[in-house]
Amino acid sequence: MRVFLISCLCSICLLMSCKEAKEPIAAETKNVVQDTVMQTSGKKTMGSSQIAQLHKQATAILTYRLENKPEKHAIIDVGVWEYEAAFREGAMSKPGEFAGHWIDFSENGTYEIGVYNEITGSGRYHYDNDTHLLLLVNNDEKVKPEEFELKLMQSVMIMMGKSTYQDNGFQAKLLKSEKRPTR
């Protein structure tokens, strides 16, 4: 009798664990997408239609934020920010791995990113000093938008990815510099 009860209990547990998912999973062709902040960081897989939709939504959000909170913040747009280290995909970067990577915020609400003398991307941004949120929308519609929470202290910036555009697995430490790095 005892063996029968144990067998029944194991069978019930096995049947419950093999239960099918209630929601069907939609099949979509996936593309490898790179973040704008560092072309070498945080590769994501997303469908091109999803990227286009996110870009359109982020552009509308950016426009709304610029119209309703147009304040400029010299704390991020004075100087160039160079990447010192990054945490992505569950691992910390190696020392010097991001040497020469930079992002340059302009007072007019635009930004450029690059590696040493090469500009690898550009777009528009909005920084909200109350929420500490930075929204980046690349000019290239094939590049997904990004949103980060910033921690700023003098010449150090910590960027913590938000889940809005699936950047929550990315964090970076940047140091302020007077000019873009050169080789």
23 pLDDT higher than 70: no
pLDDT of amino acid 53: 92
Domains and CATH numbers, the chain: 28-177 (2.40.128.280)
The torsion of the CA quartet 54, 59, 60, 63, rounded to 10 degrees, works out to 160
When mean pLDDT is compared across 84-93, 109-118, 135-144, the lowest value belongs to 84-93
pTM of the model: 0.75
Please choose, from the candidates 37, 44, 53, the residue with its C-alpha nearest in 3D space to the C-alpha of residue 113: 37
